[in-house]
Structure 1
Amino acid sequence: MSFTTSLSSSNPPYQEFIRNFSDSLDVIFNKTADINQLSLSRGLPTRIWKDIMKLKPLSVAIPQEYGGRGVLVKECLGLLSAASYQSLPLSLTFGINIALFLEPLAKYGQDAIKPEIYKSFLDDGAMGGLMITEPSHGSDALNMKTYNKLIGDEYAIKGLKHWQGLTGMAKYWLVTSRHMNDEGELTRDIDFFVTDESKPEQKIKVLEYFDNAGLYMIPYGLNEIDVRVPSQNKLRPKSTGLKMMLDTLHRSRMQFPGMAMGFLQRLMDDAIAHCKGRMIGNSNLFSMDQVQHQLSRMQSSFTICSAMCARSTQISGIDHDVATSGLLANSMKALVTDLMQDAAQTYVQLSGAKGYRISHIGGRGIMDSRPFRIFEGSNEMLYTQISDIVLKEMKRTKTPHFGTYAGKKAETKMASEVLKKELDFTIDGTLSQRKSIDLGKIMARVVSLNDVLELNNSGFNQELTENCIQVVQQEISTLVHLMEHHKGTHVLDDYEDRSNWMDFV
């Protein structure tokens, strides 16, 4: 019997697996140790990591034929959610491994290298990450300077990469680079290679560890790449490397809701419990109108994220090509990460002074969730891309009225029915960037509300749905007003002339 068959046959049913994982994390973080105290220091003690990895969490992203659970999106998102209920950085650690290493390896990796890598993940608790960004090329990844050259049957790869999560911690890396031709020019396409830190010729040198402001559990840094890998370590795209990168990044963005789900639920649960127990005079915080407003917004975020998870389960598996699914991917990533930050800010506000501590889940939640709005595409950039997609389609279909346009799209048709009043506006001509971002925020909410309505049709809580509709209607009304009333303000380069108030009193 093969190694893969014997392992996969021992996998428990998913409900048993996820229940054991959740219960074990609760013990590890709240009984064996204290996550609030662990969060004060960078990294996690080795014994804690060993206890976590004994649970084989990353088996959800390994194919069954190699001993894993089958790379099912529902299971991956469920694991991310269970982890983020206890620790957002832990969930991100798993998210990096799943979406940025294991899923692309399963889809594009050559079979010759898979058994050894998967065995290391399952037996030794190995981890993997992705290296794209460079000191001078972040969002401008297509112009990266890291290059590869084929020498015999090996590829030599050289360059600098930075801000990779799990720097110095992951055993395996997917390293992106551009091929250097015989004339010394870099081709436009992007190549992906697997490196193994246990092999001297493939080891990546860490030049510096960064003092990241949040996500203390995860090391980030500056990496020098000067490695040689066999040709079998190169991923094989279905068409081009650029499409493979888009497919990988869009799939990753579609799985952000998994990391957000447990985090939002934990903040909501803790906020409700705090407000019910905090007495102000003869009544508690929970009974106050403004507090009800704040909590209802948190609950709306929970509902939206739930719908995103359900939608992602349907469309983001590795059997789907999501390279052209920018509208859905960007809407999910940008909106849910904004909601994460808003929820953390709200919980800290409701908690008062005691929330302003790293040892408080709300306080550290502000710092831990903030970079989610930056990495894998800053939200402003993603909202702009959403807007670009919308404007091109409106122009192509000659549909200047936004509500009419939304009513024709499968991704927004149901939502347009309950947002007729809010979407009753017309776009003529080009938009400034600030207006374009507003339009992107509007569209992301319409897409997400459509997901909520689809989930509601499947039996989701009607009251949560109705609450969410009201919150989204209010948000879109505000955004439309902002978009229509931008005045084109600009910064004065030389503002010091007559700007010191003390000269006038």
Structure 2
Amino acid sequence: MESGKEELSVFIAKFNQVLKRVFHEQQDINELSHDRGLPPHIWRDIMETHPLAVAVPTAYGGRGSVVKECLSVLSAASYESLPLSLTFGINIALFLEPLAKYGDDKIKEKVFPEFLSGHRMGGLMITEPDYGSDALNMRTAYRNTDEGYAISGKKHWQGLTGQADYWLVAARKQVSDGELARDVDFFVTDNADPKQHIKVEQLYSNLGLYMIPYGLNVIDLEVPTYQRLQPESTGIKMMLDILHRSRLQFPGMGMGFIKRMLDEALQHCTNRMVGAGNLLALDAVQYQLSRIQTAFTICSGMCARSSTISGIEYNLATEGLEANSMKALVTDLMQESAQLCLQVSGANGYKINHIAGRGIIDSRPFQIFEGSNEMLYTQIAEIVLKRMKRQKESSFYQSLASLPQTEKAVPHFREQLQFTVSDNLAQRKLVDLGKIIARLVNIQYVLDMQEKGFRQDLVENCIYNMQLDIAQLASNFALSNHAELVVSYEGESDWLDFAF
């Protein structure tokens, strides 16, 4: 540990104490969940613990952008408040880490000290009204000026809209014929500078995550040359590196949230008496809670793996298999855990001020933003299928048995994986294939942890529940038919015509 740097356990303990005080003693977080945003005094108390110092390099007075520290802050925050954790996740993975890796020293010297001494926020602008996941066709454009770059366009659904002090804005270069270059560049903007101010045209009424403002932004600004990020090769690879690093750090937000769902469900089922025993005496409840506990185990493995591979010293542009597997599966597990916690909580779980009901709404968009899970599962499947084609291998099991990211996990699923895969799979089957692969990739992380001493009973339960999942998903490949939408469905379909 570097001299003067507080032990991580002490740093997180202090952070936890403040969260407990502001959310349970000063205010009731269950009541705060009804409101948009947090009261200023609560923000002040939380930010005075300097949680974002974990993502600031030591050269600028921070704790050094150590991944396990970043994930620890995200997990501690999400145990109390998923929106708070996402706020920090946006700042860490989508602003501070990219700035630390790709920023010019001149802009870093200005921004990092402000994040350490003040209550600063930063975010990332990629998504546009007409180009959601199709980022490579974004229309926000920039051109060279005498002093730097002029940027214009529209961006929307950025977390911290109107709240962030700094933004990383993605844009494409306007070439001579009016067309836009294929590559993508990123620029740091400072909202306090009138020339760089981003106008908020509209704030959206987002369904959950009330703490975080979203909206539509109009960009018409100028930045100096040194505020452009410097890619190692191409801008597209830089964007993939940024997005993959962010996806690999989703487990930090998932960890505390899933643990909270498990703790709440376990406490309720222990105390809730039904007849002669408590809810835990019911086999169906045991199964439901074992599913949440499996999510806890898998997410733990993800955090351990991410801490090893997702630091800013690595280029993650080509790590789509692991990044997509972590993001898609952990967000599915977050939603499942919240649903199960609500189910065992009974009617009380459906209140907006109950942690489970709120958790369902707040975790749902995680399955959509930064790449919808269906898209990510499809990409996972395509990565493996291309490899199988190169290998001239049709056996799914044999191919995964030689894939470094799954070779340790597949022997536990030999029975479920004995099928062949054809070249022309429908997309719905690609999604199912991606779900299987993602589970195997992440089970391997759990097995790696077990080798280092992680408790065996949790691992065994986890493998059993994943065998159930994979068996169900694999069974889809034996079915040759599938349902298709009937667009003009209204003729001969009114049930009243058949009620005599």
- Aligned equivalent of 2:298: 304
- Counterpart in the other structure of 1:376: 370
* C-alpha displacement of 1:153: 2.4
How many angstroms apart in 2 are the aligned matches of 1:329 and 1:484? 29
Contact residue 435 and residue 486 of structure 1 kept, 8 A? no
1:265 pairs, out of 231, 246, 259, with 259
Structure 1 residue 150 and structure 2 residue 144: aligned? yes
Equivalent AA in structure 2 for residue 305 of structure 1: C
Match of 2:435 among 430, 435, 441: 441
Q: Which letter maps to 2:411?
A: E
SS for the counterpart of 1:413 is coil
SS of 2:333's equivalent in the other structure is helix
Instruction: Answer yes or no: is 1:283 the counterpart of 2:277.
Output: yes
Question: Cα distance, 1:487 vs. partner?
Answer: 1.8
* Partner AA of 1:110 in structure 2: D
Aligned counterparts, 1:329-368, within 5 A: 329-368=323-362
Instruction: Give TM-score scaled by structure 2 length.
Output: 0.99
Alignment of 1:5-154 (within 5 A): 10-154=4-148
The one-letter code sitting in structure 1 at the alignment partner of 2:76 is A
Q: Quick one: which amino acid aligns to residue 199 of structure 1?
A: D
- Paired amino acid for 2:454: F
For residue 101 of structure 1, what is the amino acid of its counterpart?
F
Q: How does 1:420-431 map to 2 (within 5 A)?
A: 420-431=414-425
One-letter code of the match for 2:418? D
Aligned partners of 1:39 and 1:216 also within 8 Å: yes
Contact 1:85–1:266 (CA under 8 A) maintained in structure 2: yes
Q: TM-score, normalised by structure 1?
A: 0.98
- Alignment partners' CA distance in 2, 1:226 and 1:155: 11
Moved more, 485-494 or 99-108: 485-494
Tell me, yes or no, if structure 1 residue 235 matches structure 2 residue 225: no
RMSD: 0.9
Aligned residue for 2:468? 474
**Which stretch of structure 1 is more off in the superposition, 28-37 or 186-195?**
28-37
Give unmatched runs, 5+ long, in structure 1: 1-7
Q: Deviations over 1:225-270 (max 9, x none)?
A: 0010001000000000000000000000000000000000010011
- Larger displacement relative to structure 2 (292-301 or 416-425): 416-425
- Residues 348 and 356 of structure 1 are in contact (CA less than 8 Å); yes or no, is this contact kept in structure 2? yes
Distance 2:371 2:490 in 1: 35
> CA shift at 1:485, angstroms?
1.8
| Alpha-carbon shift at residue 125 of structure 1 (Å) | 1.3
d(CA) in 1 for partners of 2:213 and 2:423? 46
1:214-253 alignment runs, 5 A limit: 214-253=208-247
Alpha carbons 1:110, 1:233 under 8 Å: kept: yes
Q: Report if aligned partners of 1:101, 1:130 keep a CA contact under 8 Å in 2.
A: yes
CA distance in 2, matches of 1:486, 1:200: 60
Structure 2: which 5+ residue stretches go unaligned? none
Deviation at 1:83, TM superposition (A): 0.4
Deviations 1:111-154 (A, max 9, x none): 01112101111111101000000000000010000000001122
Residues 271, 347 of structure 1: 8 Å contact kept: yes
In structure 2, how many angstroms separate the alpha carbons of the residues matched to 1:33 and 1:268?
24
Decide whether the 8 Å contact of 1:77 with 1:309 is kept in 2. yes
Partners of 1:339 and 1:483 lie apart in 2 by: 23
1:454 corresponds to which residue?
A: 448
**Are residue 407 (structure 1) and residue 401 (structure 2) matched?**
yes
Q: Alpha-carbon deviation of 1:482?
A: 2.1
Secondary structure, counterpart of 1:310 in structure 2 = helix
Q: How does 1:176-195 map to 2 (within 5 A)?
A: 176-195=170-189
Please give the per-residue CA displacement for 1:331-360, whole angstroms capped at 9, x wherever unaligned: 000000000000000011111111112211
**Are the aligned partners of 1:89 and 1:217 in contact in 2 as well (CA < 8 Å)?**
yes
**Which amino acid in 2 is paired with 1:187?**
A
* Poorly superposed stretches of 4+, deviation over 3 Å: 8-11
| 1:378 CA displacement | 0.1
Give 3-state SS (helix, strand or coil) of 1:426's partner.
coil
How many residues are treated as equivalent by the alignment? 498
| Alignment CA distance shift 1:220-1:440 (3 Å) | same
- Output the CA distance in 1 between the equivalents of 2:352 and 2:117: 34
Comparing 214-223 with 176-185, which one deviates more in the overlay? 176-185
How far apart are 1:419 and its partner, in Å? 1.1
- Quote the Cα distance in structure 2 between the aligned partners of 1:172 and 1:155: 17
SS in 2 for 1:202: coil
Identity across matched positions, percent: 57
